[in-house]
Structure 1
Amino acid sequence: MPVPLSPVLFTNAAKRMIQLRWLMLLAAALLLGLLFWQGVVLPWGLCIQALATLALINLALAHGLFTALLHIHALALGLLADVLVLTEILALSGGAANPLASLYLPPILFAALLLPARFAWGLGGLSLLAYGGLFFWHLPWPVAGGDAAYAFTLHLAGMWLTFALSVMLIVGVVSCLSRELAGREAALAAAREAQLRNEQLVALGVQAASAAHTLSTPLATLSLLSDELSDAYADDPELAEDLLLMRQQLAQCREGLSRLRHDAEPASECLPLFDALATRIAGWRALRPDVVLSWQGRHSGGPALALDNGFWAALFNLLNNAADAGGGKVELEVALAAGSLQLTIINREGCLSEAQLERAGLAMLPSGKTGGMGIGVLLSHVTLSRLGGSLTLCNDQAGGVRATLRLPLMEMAG
């Protein structure tokens, strides 16, 4: 059965067939020149006419002159021309006795690989009829000077040449098709992974929207109650401190819900890159006063960019994971490299297993927080991919886990 090629791969296969046909025409021209030099008697005008006909057809196929034909029909026309011209050449040079008759096989094989079965069977049947007809209708096998031993030697050389050509054609075309199909399978596997990831994210988005709608009213009620309790127990210092902490946590919850809408909107304000980064990191530190952040690299300046809001969510997910996994200590390295922003986040405790490293960012994995491989990494990976960047995780040689974010600055510009 034919290999189910995609339109792009099918077009590539058709182009390769055109290139192979040019090579075969060149080889045929060289062979005719060698036979002429050896003094072999052939109807040279008819042989040249046959090769010229095939060359004109191939030229028309190469320049798309058969615009009314689909790619599959153009490929079929080319293979049919190969068989007919080969038949003419054989009929002019000994018929079935010509060792080049086995060159019927490559076009049939390519038809079986690339075209519908009905055409492959049709071309195979036509080749059988043509080969059979060569036993009865052909010009005599050219023998130079009537030397039978020379003719036999020439026949053996032709058999070897035919075998070599068949091997090169079959191995070359089949190897190319195998590589293209392997690449397509890899692309399909990546597409399935991306589709699964997108489906998971859509489900998470629906759940997040539902949760935000559900939690808004209870949060407002709790905020009101905490304010009333603070007024009622203002004389109790310990309880007042606990109530203050409660109000702060409720404020963070309300801020998180408001960011669900804000982060979905594109950024419009252009700020110096490292100034914006320093400002956002300072805001994160205010929410995580328990974390000790060691910053290496620039703190200000840089190109003016409108940073996508999703980038910050991806960054803070990774910082929170590192802080939770690293016992409250995080190292951040900031740099510009090859026109991209590169951020390296390191926590010096714990490590990732091989399974976690292999699936990091590709699926939701259970997290014990020592490895920090929960849903946050998946969200960060998808967000950075959408922005044209990348996220890689590895175990640091000095201990702990290293997460590296790379973003092309052109992709970050809004």
Structure 2
Amino acid sequence: MKAPTFGEISQDNRGEWVRLRTLTYVRAVALVGQVGAFLLAVVVFDLRFDLGLVALVIGAAAVSILLALFLFPPTKRLSDVEASLTFLFDIAQLGCLLYLTGGITNPFALLIMAPVAISAMALQPRSTMMLALVAIGLITLVSVAYQPLRFMDGTILVVPPILSFGFWAAIVIGVVFQAFYAHRVAAESDSMADALLAAQMALSREQKLTDLGGVVAATAHELGTPLATIKLVSSELADELSDRPDLLDDVRLLASEVDRCRDILRAMGRSGKDDTHMHRAPLEAVLQEAADPHRNRGKQVHFLLTPEGGAPDSQPLILRRPEIIHGLRNLIQNAVDFAQSQVWVDARWTPQALTLRIIDDGAGFPPQVLSSIGEPFLGRRRDPARSKRRPGYDGMGLGTFIAKTLLERTGARLDFMNCDGLVKTLPHAPDLRGALVEIRWPLSAIAADMSQGLDPNPSIGV
């Protein structure tokens, strides 16, 4: 397995997930259960075994547990190979116990599934497959060759062959099912955790950019006074050095550079205030800010703003939150990437709700992944023809997942679909088959101020 680079998010990086001390405690509990079951069978049910060999097998497990406790530090974590060998030892030890205590007729034979299930959640698939094959091989072996259970009077516990076969089949099916089920659940959980981390990192980056604007504004404000002092002193020096042309040129150069610094800081302060103090903005301004990085990539991005349901003609004044801008930017980027030449950002609002539709004139979402769009690491199930439509792209669905997660945090609901005649108001609407992302907010969740949340002078551009 290729090791991920620093900062890379990968759900396949499962190295050293298992802590030795935790696994040792679990194995100790299992050992106590083995001893208890053995004593119960001998004392209560009057069964007889080869006591020496059974004690030897249980003792081997006890020794391995003690070695793990005393030879390794509590923080020791097992690699994939080390954990696989530990599980392999446990399967072999349980297989030996089953051979000595009735084989497949021993009701505790089903415990051979436990190491395989744990492996499926914590180790690589190839390690789990190897352990599953070993477990199936051992359970098959002890189903045909074992020391039968005997009572005190020498009577042998006989189980009908059909039940023995049923026990074997149930355990084999259980091993396979448990391994597959545990692996799928763990993989989905890992993917979601990685994707949520990516969403958190994206939001943090957007927030840092916003905070940086505040730092710039504060810096520009604080440097204004020293520069004004330098300007004043340089002016006085220019007056006093009027008879020294060689020095007067240097002083004038100093004054001109001070003016240049003042202009730069003024621009920086204006930019910083725009980023930090404009916490609300007209809807179109937010949409244009989100789309701005992708408007000069050879595709036309159109903005349509339409009131509905008796709403005022003036566009809503909405919250300018990093989650909204970053989420919309990701969705617009996807539309631009897959569009042939046109992308539409269609905004409609009523007195109660705001609806955005991001539409492109591309080929649309692949039908086989349409129901899974918005899930992380969708790249494994992507359309095989996607690389032809978007050369060099090897996405994993994280961008869409991040956008969906961030926008849902603001109260939005997202639907992903293809146009297929659903759009009636755009140019060439009947022929559009591209992707359509619909985002809906309650206006109370996104409006900056419901009492004065409408811009009286909207600037609507197409």
- In the superposition, the TM-score normalised over structure 1's length comes to 0.43
User: More relative contact order in 1 or in 2 (CA 8 Å, sep 6+)?
Assistant: 2
- In the superposition, the TM-score normalised over structure 2's length comes to 0.39
